[in-house]
Amino acid sequence: MTSPGPIAISIAGFDIRWYGILIASGALLALYISCKRAPIYGLASEDVLDIALGILPLGILGARIYYVIFNWTYYSDSPSEIFDIRGGGLAIHGGLIFGFIAAYAICKYKKISFIDVADLILPSVALAQAIGRWGNFFNNEAYGTETTLPWAIIIDGKSVHPTFLYESIWCFIIFIILSSIFKHRKFPGQVACLYGLLYAPE
């Protein structure tokens, strides 16, 4: 399997990339699911939307900062590319850190339970991650060592492990597991804790 390339379509010379399409699709689906589930925890859909509007831009910023920090050897020689987010380079751990900070601040301001919000949105976050990981395929990123397995992807003429696919599948499994206990959590924070335990090894 070979990536068809990062660009999905070009309109009037402007390239629309698969990575952006997939991240946006995952985020919108996560928002939709969270809004539909919000009443189960006594939360208003409008509050979830407000939180999402804070999480998304800060999450993207955090994902970029985290990526740049851990690839500073490259960016120190090419500082102008730090702001070229369309060229790829987002780290989910940075997005989660900044997203949690934004969500906590908004919850404090609106006087709603941050723990309930975390339990509400994290299953959908896992689903969004499962979708967004496919952006790595189109960008020829996040691959492993050489392999002869039939589901290998071709990078630079070599068959390698599609590690993005492994994480995508695992994130989807996390979504299923968290969704199965979502309505029957034994204590506030159970869903969030389980997300942390299941995703931490990634």
Give dist(CA 87, CA 124) in Å, integer. 26
Q: What value does the mean pLDDT take over residues 168-190?
A: 95
Q: What value does the mean pLDDT take over residues 161-169?
A: 95
Structure tokens at 104: 């906590």
Tell if the pTM clears 0.85, that is, is over it. yes
202 has a pLDDT exceeding 60: no
Residue 149's alpha-carbon distances to 139, 153, 160, 162, in angstroms, are: 21, 9, 8, 10
**First-to-final CA distance of the chain:** 24
- 117 membership: H or E segment, kind and range: helix 114-132
Q: What digits encode the pLDDT tens for the residues 119-141?
A: 999 999 999 999 999 998 998 88
Query: What pLDDT score was predicted for residue 68?
Result: 92
Contact 180, 168 (CB under 8 A): no
97-134 burial code (b ≥16 CB/10 A, e <16): bbbbebbeebbeeeebebbbbbbbbbbbbbbbbbbbbb
Per-domain boundaries in the chain: 7-199
Give dist(CA 112, CA 54) in Å, integer. 15
